[in-house]
Structure 1
Amino acid sequence: MKIATVSFNSVWENKKANLIHLERIVKSLKYKADFVVFPEMTLTGFSVSNLDFAEDFTNSDSIRIIKNIAKENQINIVFGMMISKGVNRYNSCIAVNRNGEIDGNYEKMHLFSYSGEDKLISCGNEVKSIPWRGGWGLSICFDLRFPELYQKLSKENLILVNIANWPKSRVSHWRTLLNARAIENQSFMIGVNRIGTDGNELAYEESSCIFSPTGDKIEPVEIADEIQLFDLNLDEAIEWRKKFPIENDRRNNIYKKFYN
Structure 2
Amino acid sequence: MENLKVTVFQGHLFWENTDKNLQNIGFRLSSIRTKTDLIILPEMFSTGFTMNAEKLAEPMNGKTLQWMQQMAARHTCVITGSVIIKDGDSYYNRLIWMRADGSYEYYDKKHLFTLGKEHHTYSAGDKRLIVDLNGWKVCPMICYDLRFPAWLRNNNQEYDLLIIVANWPERRALHWRSLIPARAIENQTYVIGVNRVGHDGNEVYHSGDSTCIDPNGNVIYYKRDEEDVYTFTLNAEELIKTRRALPFLNDADHFTFN
TM-score normalized by the length of structure 1: 0.91
Of 141-150 and 91-100, the range deviating more from structure 2: 91-100
Cα RMSD after superposing both structures: 1.8
- RCO higher in 1 or 2 (8 Å CA, sep ≥ 6)? 2
Structure with the largest fraction of strand: 2
2:53–2:91 Cα contact (<8 Å) kept? no
Match of 2:21 in 1: 18
CA contact 1:158–1:234 (8 Å) conserved in 2 = no
Which of 207, 210, 233 pairs up with 2:209? Answer: 207
Number of aligned positions between the proteins: 251
SS of structure 2 residue aligned to 1:242: helix
Q: Is 2:125 the counterpart of 1:118? A: no
Decide whether the 8 Å contact of 2:195 with 2:210 is kept in 1: yes
Q: Are 1:43 and 2:24 counterparts? A: no
Give SS of 2:173's match.
Answer: helix
Partner of 1:107: 108
CA distance in 2, matches of 1:106, 1:154: 21
AA aligned opposite 2:45? T
SS of 1:65's equivalent in the other structure is helix
**Structure 1, unaligned stretches of length 5 or more?**
none
TM-fit CA distance, 1:31:
3.2
Q: CA deviation at 1:30?
A: 4.9
Contact 2:11 2:227 in 1 (8 A): no
Paired position in structure 2 for 1:150 = 152
Match of residue 236 from structure 1: 238
**1:157-185 deviations in Å (ceiling 9; x for gaps):** 10000000000000010010001000000
What letter matches 2:85 in structure 1?
I
Match runs of 1:53-72 below 5 Å: 53-57=56-60, 59-72=61-74
C-alpha change, 1:60 and 1:230, in structure 2 (3 Å) is: same
Work out whether residues 153 and 160 of structure 1, in 8 Å CA contact, stay in contact via their aligned partners in 2: no
One-letter amino acid matched to 2:16: E
Q: Distance in 1 between matches of 2:186 and 2:117?
A: 30
Percent identical residues: 33
Contact in 1 for aligned 2:14/2:21 (Cα 8 Å): yes
